[in-house]
């Protein structure tokens, strides 16, 4: 019944208040829509100032666990946006993390003025230079994914001199272009003859396709298409809060 935990704690008071409330929400004791105690009630219960309680509630609100409404109170939020955190690591890091030997092979690299197709793929209007890269990643010498990438040189001029024969472009970009936004589109296809050969699978075998479009501050950086053998590779996403 009592909110306050009397045990001697290391965590600070506002963190304890936040954890207490979070626990009640996560266990379902306070279901979506439930009104949590008013600030002044929590102040009385924990014997602290309003700012301390306010900090705890503000953080819960920032984490979308509760919703605060003036005059009405604070309420447990309904699982609103069913979303998942999809971990799409840099492929080299991903393979290394699995404890497998990473292999990289540059198939082609072309620096050219952007064609109409390039511009459409990057979603830009102005003509400029681009780098088109095709490469293959492998794990323990087994093909893992083939990559087909376009980099907008006007956004990332330094890419022109990067050595993509040794370092995969995804890894290079990750370390040279900070704070990007991206959009992923996931779909499935069956392997055509070229894809089948590159991935060493049968023609007609299923492939998982990830199209990623990356930008920073409304500025296109790169567009990439990744093809994985569909039956071997798995994307794992964990989500919380829905």
Partner DNA sequence: TACGATTATATGTCTAGACATATAAGTCAA
Partner DNA sequence: TTGACTTATATGTCTAGACATATAATCGTA
Cβ density class 140-174: b for 16+ within 10 Å, e for less: eeebbbbbbbbbbbebbeebeebebeeebbbebbe
| Structure tokens given for 31 | 């279901």
C-alpha span between 43 and 183 (Å, rounded):
44
Contact flag: residue 97 with a second copy (CB under 8 A):
no
> Binder to a second copy among 101, 123, 157, 204 (CB under 8 A)?
204
Q: Which is nearer to DNA, 56 or 124 (CB)?
A: 56
Minimum Å gap between C-beta 235 and DNA is: 34
36-41, long-range: CB within 8 Å, 24+ apart, which pairs?
A: 36/66, 36/73, 36/74, 36/75, 36/76, 37/3, 38/73, 38/74
Contact flag: residue 26 with a second copy (CB under 8 A):
yes
| Residues engaged in binding DNA (CB under 7 A) | 12-15, 38-40, 47-52, 54-55, 57-58, 61, 68-74
| Structure tokens given for 32 | 């979506």
Site for a second copy in 28-57 (CB under 8 A): 28, 31-32
Q: Which is nearer to a second copy, 165 or 197 (CB)?
A: 197
Contact flag: residue 123 with a second copy (CB under 8 A):
no
Query: φ and ψ at 50, to 5 degrees?
Result: -65, -35
Q: Which is nearer to a second copy, 108 or 217 (CB)?
A: 217
Picked from a second copy, DNA, none, the partner binding residue 12 (CB below 5 to 8 A depending on kind) is: DNA
Q: Binding residues for a second copy, how many (CB under 8 A)? A: 57
């Amino acid at each position: 019944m009592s909110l306050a935990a009397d045990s001697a704690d290391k965590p600070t008071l506002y963190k304890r208040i936040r954890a207490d409330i979070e626990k009640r929400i996560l266990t379902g004791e306070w279901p979506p829509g439930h009104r949590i105690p008013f600030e002044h009630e929590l102040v009385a219960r924990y014997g602290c100032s309003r700012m301390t309680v306010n900090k705890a509630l503000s953080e819960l609100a920032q984490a979308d666990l509760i919703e605060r409404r003036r005059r009405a109170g604070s309420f447990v939020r309904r699982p609103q946006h069913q979303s998942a955190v999809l971990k799409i690591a840099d492929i080299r890091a991903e393979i290394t993390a699995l404890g497998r030997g990473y292999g990289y092979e540059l198939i082609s690299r072309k620096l050219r003025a952007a064609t109409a197709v390039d511009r459409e793929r990057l979603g830009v209007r102005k003509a400029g230079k681009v780098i088109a890269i095709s490469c293959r990643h492998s794990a323990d010498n087994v093909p893992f994914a083939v990559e087909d990438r376009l980099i907008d040189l006007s956004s990332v001029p330094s890419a022109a001199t990067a050595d993509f024969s040794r370092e995969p472009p995804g890894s290079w970009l990750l370390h040279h272009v900070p704070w990007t936004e991206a959009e992923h589109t996931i779909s499935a296809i069956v392997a055509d003859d070229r894809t089948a050969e590159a991935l060493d699978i049968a023609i007609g075998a299923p492939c998982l396709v990830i199209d990623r479009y990356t930008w920073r501050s409304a500025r296109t950086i790169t567009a990439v298409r990744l093809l994985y053998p569909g039956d071997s590779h798995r994307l794992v996403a964990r989500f919380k809060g829905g």
